[in-house]
Amino acid sequence: METRKIQKIGVFTSGGDAPGMNAAIRAVVRACIHYDIKPVGIYRGYDGLIAGDIEELSSRSVSNIIQRGGTILKSARSMEFKTPEGRKTAFENIQKFGIDALVAIGGDGTFRGAQIFSAEYNIPVVGIPGTIDNDLNGTDFTIGYDTAVNTAASAIDKIRDTASSHNRLFFIEVMGRHSGQIALRSSIAAGAEATLIPEIPMNVEELVNLLEHGAGRKKSSSLVVVAEGGKPGHSIDLAREVNERFNHYDTKVTILGHLLRGGSPTVADRVLASRMGVVAVESLLNNKSGVMIGIVNNQVNFTPFDHATTNVDNFDSEMLRIAGILSV
């Protein structure tokens, strides 16, 4: 890609929202100002780029947002951007507004779109991983993951109170799409008896045996954390099947769902987002493009979009081993 002088950077959030996105937006805007670059905000992700819903941002525009969940730039999943006609309109708006480079904050769908767009129109783009699922290669943690895990653990703590009071078996379903990372980490943090994740499936027979072992030791209640596994609500069918074979407790199901996407970001997510936002701007100024910013072992890491989004291999099997030991 040819070297060009960058004078204006557009930033947008795309796909599912994640706590800490506002902190990343703030960091991008203020880093731009620091380096005498004009920052512009693109509203509603790729849809806003196609519609020309773009405006210049200032330091004041991002004041008092670092602690807020959601995204001030709004977010969307754009079907139109998947078409050549949609991307052509988006490029025409980039030219119209004089945008020289883009910072895309989102997950795998966001980065796939960025990769295609950058290749077609020679637009420098870097990505910041903003997704609660923590399902991208090239970074230890994605923005929003730590907050989601804390929210899940807090909810599970509260559910345990009522489970213990009534001798109940609770199935608690958490988000994460095809990743079990939220389920696994929050399960360990909240002391759940079992964790069901898509990476290493557990059949009903194994789960029933585990629950019967706990009942034999006079446990007053049991909590099973279930990753949605790409099929939200499947914990209801699972609970029904288990209840037919294991009726020691009154069985209940709680689906945490989009609760995990909301709330004020944790300190970890605010710092991670701030660090990545600054690095994103500096990377563009140093002629990097087509890469996702990541932090691995506390060091900045750059991963090409195609590798960041394919054959994700960052599942920590050691955490699953620990969860098994602690569930006895």
106 CB neighbour count, 10 Å cutoff = 31
| Whole-number Å distance between alpha carbons of 129 and 140 | 11
58 CB neighbour count, 10 Å cutoff = 12
Contact predicate 195/225, CB 8 Å: yes
Active site residues per annotation: 133
- Strand (E) positions, the chain? 8-13, 38-42, 54-56, 101-106, 125-129, 168-174, 194-196, 222-227, 250-255, 291-296, 299-304
Q: What does the DSSP assignment read for 77-139?
A: --SGGGSHHHHHHHHHHHHHTT--EEEEEE-HHHHHHHHHHHHHHT--EEEEEB-TT---TT-
Q: Which two tokens stand for residue 225?
A: 């954390």
